[in-house]
Amino acid sequence: MKRFFQKLTVFILIAALSLSVYPQNVFSLTAFSYSFESGQTDGWSGSAILQENVGSCTLQTDTAKAYEGKQSLRIEYSGSTKYVITGPEPETINPGDRIEYWIFIPKSSNLNRIYFYSIDSEGNRDESWFHNDEGLVRGKWFNLSYRVDPEGNAPFSSYGFDLETEHGQSGSLWIDAIRIKSDEVKTCPTVPGLRKGVSYTTSLSTLKEGNNTLNQSNLDLIRNSGFDHIRLPIKLNDQSLETAPYTINEDYLELVDLAIAQALAKDLNVILDLHNYPILTEGTNKKLDEERYFAFWTQLSNRYSQYSDNLYFQILDEPDWYIGSEKLNSILQKSLSIIRETNPTRNLIVPHTRWSGVRSVNMLELPENDRHLIVSIHFYEPIAFTHQGTDWIFDSLKSQKGVPWSGTVKEKYAISDLFDLVADWAVTNNRPVILDEFGVYNLAPSDDRAIWTDFVRETAEERNISWTYWEFNAGFGVFAPWKGMFRLEVLDALIPDSIDKTGTGFTIASEITN
């Protein structure tokens, strides 16, 4: 009974806190709207941050393009590297308002980045940005939104957006339907068969013949704790010929076969993840990398074509930024064609550019007639918190310790708004989404790690986004192998009603390097 009341007290406290996580919106959704149908700029203005006393930025209405109605606002710029577009009547916006912009950028545009910003009454500037290949779609209308600083001091003195381009080059873009966006949460189409999972990062290549590959007790722990699938990363770089026909090592594939069979026997669905393969790596023969990649999927899709729908293919993990969305979309189209020859209806998990980050999901182009595709997103923001103490991304992270994430209003909006961007795209395009990597390195403060994990998981679930935690038993792990038990704060954050929170008979597995 005592334990019951303790749990009840905690539940009440959590419920009370959840009600106060976000401030109640006080704005009128119709009070702030600019569609430029009057033929006027409606108070919007632009200027260049001058370089060598040159540069211009002009705004005018235009009937050539419009997202809605018959006119939009055309912005022309030249001679500088940065331009400031300022909105009218900043006193009409409030802390926490979310301003939506519909944008058209020509395919030939040299635009590198857009910074949305607000400046409060005390001169504090808040901003959010989208990069050239990370959310800035070319050749069609798309929408982006910016959350006015929820911790800013009203009345605001300025808001709008900055444009960043290559030096001295001219260009144009169109803006329309600027308005306050509601905080309605959209729900993505459901991912079939996958809800809650974990990446099992055993390095299969290090296992000797006859080893118990995934260890039965490990799989029991995963299943009994409430997970319904594992993500099995495989690295083929060192397990295949480097020249045509790029044959994959048969001994290695037999280990993969065994691992899949063991997981399926435990009623765990399996994501077979082609991990850490550099399709286009700087300084290498890019054509060769592509040919090898296609050869991998020819072999894998043939080998597993008769497996049940409980096996999923993740056709690539975290494509790097230098591939570019146009090139990546072309590569994905060809790999899908290869796989569909032998697996016409298997569910495939597809990535997008810039490591499958949430900001770049709208850069993905998929064949409209293939409805057995699941879109992958990865999330580790803010990186200074989730990767503190690590040494494989930025050198500066290695010395960072004790970086907090306490779940302030601003911190939570920074996450939920990005997931809303994903949900908007998914609903519009009728595509299911899986968050198949998220997590916090174990050098972060444990309480904050649990708070972040719980919030990200909950934010995904509210939008009907399935998830796979990174990972089971290494640096980000939900399980501590040296203790032979779960990290309860992480497991509770992932599966609050987990059945099995102990665990014995654990075999240490090698982490696949990120």
Amino acid, single-letter form, for residue 52: E
Q: Which helix (H) or strand (E) holds 286?
A: helix 286-303
* CA atoms of 510 and 503, how far apart (whole Å): 19
Q: Is 401 exposed, middle or buried (0-12, 13-18, 19+ CB in 10 A)?
A: exposed
- Please name which of 304, 352, 347 lies closest in space to residue 332, comparing C-alpha atoms: 352
Domains along the chain with CATH numbers: 33-180 (2.60.120.260), 196-494 (3.20.20.80)
What is the per-residue pLDDT for 1? 38
Contacts 24+ apart (CB under 8 A), 284-292: 290/331, 291/244, 291/246, 292/240, 292/242, 292/246
Buried b (16+ CB within 10 A) or exposed e, 296-316: bbbbbbeebeebeebbbbbbb
- Residue 211, both tokens: 């080893």
- How far apart are the C-alpha atoms of 240 and 339, rounded to whole Å? 19
DSSP 217-275: HHHHHHHHTT--EEEEEE--TTSB-SSTT-PBPHHHHHHHHHHHHHHHHTT-EEEEEE-
Q: Give the Cα separation of 66 and 392 in Å (integer).
A: 45
Which residues 6+ apart lie within 8 Å of 56 measured at CB? Answer: 48, 76, 77, 78, 79, 80
- CA distances to 328, 331, 366, 376 from 316, rounded to whole Å, are 11, 10, 15, 10
Distance CA 157, CA 163 (A): 19
Amino acid 280: pLDDT: 59
Using CA atoms, how far apart are residues 450 and 93, in angstroms rounded to an integer?
34
Q: Find the angle CA(221)-CA(236)-CA(286) to the nearest 5 degrees.
A: 140
Can you tell me whether residue 283 is helix, strand or coil? coil
**pLDDT value at residue 402:** 93
Residues whose CB is less than 8 angstroms from the CB of residue 187 and which lie 6 or more positions away in sequence, other chains included: 423, 427, 462, 463, 464
Q: What is the DSSP letter of 134?
A: B
Query: Which pLDDT tens digits describe the chain residue by residue (514 residues)?
Result: 333 333 333 333 333 333 344 444 433 344 589 999 999 999 999 998 765 556 789 999 999 899 999 999 999 999 888 899 999 999 999 999 999 999 999 999 989 999 999 999 999 999 999 988 888 999 999 999 999 999 999 999 999 999 998 777 889 999 999 999 989 999 999 999 999 999 997 656 444 344 445 777 889 999 999 999 999 999 898 899 999 999 999 999 999 999 999 999 999 999 999 998 876 555 556 666 889 999 999 999 999 999 999 999 999 998 876 678 888 999 999 999 999 999 999 999 999 987 788 999 999 999 999 999 999 999 999 999 999 988 888 888 888 899 999 999 999 999 999 999 999 999 999 999 999 999 999 999 999 999 999 999 999 999 999 999 999 998 999 998 888 889 999 999 999 987 655 554 333 333 333 3
Return the number of other C-beta atoms located less than 10 Å from residue 417's C-beta.
18
**Taking a C-beta distance cutoff of 8 angstroms, is the pair 346, 381 a contact?**
no
Residues near 279 by Cβ (< 8 Å), separated by ≥ 6?
A: 289, 290, 293, 316, 319, 323, 328, 331
3-class SS letters over 420-484: HHHHHHHHHHCCCEEEEEECCCCCCCHHHHHHHHHHHHHHHHHCCCEEEECCCCCCCCCEECCCC
261 backbone φψ class: left, alpha, beta (φ>0; ψ -120 to 50): alpha
* Contact of 305 with 343, CB cutoff 8 Å: yes
Position 67 scores a pLDDT of: 95
Residue with tokens 């090698």: 510
pLDDT of residue 321: 67
Residue 76, beta-bridge partner list: 58, 172
d(CA 405, CA 449): 8
Residue by residue, DSSP assigns 18-29 as HHTSSPPP-S-T
pTM above 0.75, yes or no: yes
Pairing of strands 98-104, 56-62: unpaired
The token duo for 89 is: 């009547």
